Amino acid sequence: MATQMIVLNGGSSSGKSGIARCLQAVLPEPWLAIGVDTLIETMPAAMQSSDAGLGIGADGAVSTGPAFAALEAAWRAGVAEMARAGARIIVDDVFLGGAESRRRWEAVLGGLDVLWVGVRCTAEVAAGRETARGDRAAGMAALQAEAVHRGMAYDLEVDTTHTESLDCARAIAARVAR
């Protein structure tokens, strides 16, 4: 079976979105890029600063509540159904719960051929990108750099600390072509 879904997991500012865009350019068939940031942007503003939704502390720590969890579960199920319907999908996610986050994805991805990719970047480099972006809470990248990989096993890992997104995408595309 050909790969139907690529799941990119990495901390904030690790380079996942750039890799996803590059994958769309180098893969021979069309792939949709879907990120958790888009899910968050589509939520009501009130959920982006509530205990029930998504909270971002002054130190960059991210907390999620039951309303966020319910919408995220529906989003994951919907993404899986799009893949089952024939869309090839690149997911750009941040596994705040490490391996438990992957298990939640696995619960809806049964029967799909998924390539699990860890996107690594040192905390220092990710923090520098975070500052340059200006759209993230200071400290988020450093807090997530290693935490999102705890307990994880990947089919492939890339490191954007010193490697450009396009080179990472080419490595991933080579794995998809197998």
- Please identify every residue annotated as catalytic: 37
Neighbouring-strand partners of residue 90: 6, 33
Task: Evaluate whether 151 touches 98 at the Cβ level (below 8 Å).
Answer: yes
Q: Which residues are registered as beta bridge partners of 115?
A: 6
Cα(155)–Cα(115) distance, integer angstroms: 6
- CA dihedral sign, ordered 137, 143, 145, 147: negative
82, 91, 80: which is closest to 23 by C-alpha? 91
At CA 30, angle to CA 32 and CA 160, rounded to 5? 65
Residues in the chain: 178
Q: Which amino acid is at 151?
A: G
Token duo for residue 131? 């500052």
∠ CA 158-12-52, nearest 5°, is 135
